[in-house]
Amino acid sequence: MQGTTKKTSGRKVQENNHTRCMNAAMPTWNSLTNYEFHHLGRIWFCWSNDVIVTKLHMSAQVITCAIQIPSTGEQFICSAIYAFNTVGERMTLWEELRGTKAAYRHLKLPWIILGDFNATLSSSEHSRAMDYER
């Protein structure tokens, strides 16, 4: 059986289409993107109007914000990650996370770190294991 299979883990939206996509999918929400640090805008940080978001740090691999929920008084820090594929490139991400910890520890807020770290336990878990250094 012949054929071609294409697997995509996410859609890539060009910067000039960001607003159109947001208006179509989440018209009343706000967003931060990291297009100024990476041409693919790898991270979209989106939130509803009942949440207050303050940008703390942004780069090609992470967007970190302080989150405040006025209705409950809850506050926390959130880092959204989309790590680069190679170990060497990810070293920058770890330095940035250490810097975030040092810069904002005085706030004494909970910190959630979520996203795609592009790390696997074994090369068999990676679709293109031979393409990346381990």
pTM of the model: 0.79
Give the integer Cα–Cα distance in Å for 9 and 34: 18
* Residue ranges of the chain with per-residue pLDDT less than 70: 1-11, 125-134
Q: Given this model, what pLDDT does residue 13 score?
A: 79
Give the pLDDT of residue 56.
Answer: 98
Model pLDDT, residue 6: 28
In this predicted structure, what is the pLDDT of residue 9? 39
| Tally of CB atoms within 10 A around 49 | 8
pLDDT for the residue numbered 129: 57
Nearest residue to 111 (alpha-carbon basis) of 81, 80, 76, 82: 76
